[in-house]
Amino acid sequence: MSMNSLQDLFVQQLKDLYSAENQLIKALPKMAKGATTPELRKAFESHLEETRNQAGRIEQIFKAESLQGVPGGHKCKGMEGLVAEGSEILEEKGDQNVLDAGIIAAAQRVEHYEIAGYGTARAMAKLLGYTTAEQMLSKSLDEEAAADEKLTSIAEKYIYAAVPQNGK
């Protein structure tokens, strides 16, 4: 695929986001299962639902804006790496609250990565005059920001207070 216009780049960015969301659809159930704190598990389960909707939204954008091609067929390597880092913490043994704090750290990196992706894609949609895409990308962006904030509040409310501060 050659990159000769912002339009070409926009399509490429959407494909990357689509792959990122689909990788997360597979990873989130594992993170929910690996979490000990019930509120954290619930947060992953509800974000899984949102994540499915976000992937669906990208499919809808291709249709609504009559974009060329399909959203699939590309692999987001950034998300692949972030999910791999999440898997590393899930394989660790130790204090349950420390492990939950580690899972949150990995999940927040994911959310920030998505926030960057959606923020950029939305700006491009706006420039290109894709109003429907802009609105849908805004919705996903808001959900990612809310998911990130939820993780911060779970960490502060349930986990950091219970975590051993040092190993001595």
Write down how long the chain is: 168
Residue 71 found at the interface with Zn ion (CB under 5 A):
no
**Using CB under 5 A as the criterion, which residues of the chain lie in contact with Fe ion when the complex forms?**
21, 51, 54, 114, 144
Say how far apart CA 104 and CA 95 lie, in whole Å.
14
Distance CA 19, CA 113 (A): 13
Of 11, 15, 16, 35, the residue at the interface with Zn ion (CB under 5 A) is 16
65 binds Zn ion (CB under 5 A): no
Residues that bind Zn ion (rule: CB under 5 A) add up to a total of 3
Q: In the structure encoding, which two tokens stand for residue 65, read together?
A: 């804006």
Of the candidate spans 13-21, 44-52, 56-64, 157-165, the one that interacts with Zn ion by CB under 5 A turns out to be 13-21
3-class secondary-structure state, position 68: coil
Q: How is residue 79 annotated by DSSP?
A: H
C-beta nearest to Fe ion: residue? 54
Interacting residues of 38 by C-beta distance below 8 A, sequence separation 6+: none
* Nearer CB in complex with Fe ion: 55/97: 55
CB of 38 to Fe ion, least distance (A): 20
CB of 34 or CB of 86, closer to Zn ion: 86
Binding at 16: pick from Zn ion, Fe ion, none (beta carbon under 5-8 Å per type): Zn ion
Find out whether 51 and 78 touch, Cβ atoms under 8 Å: no
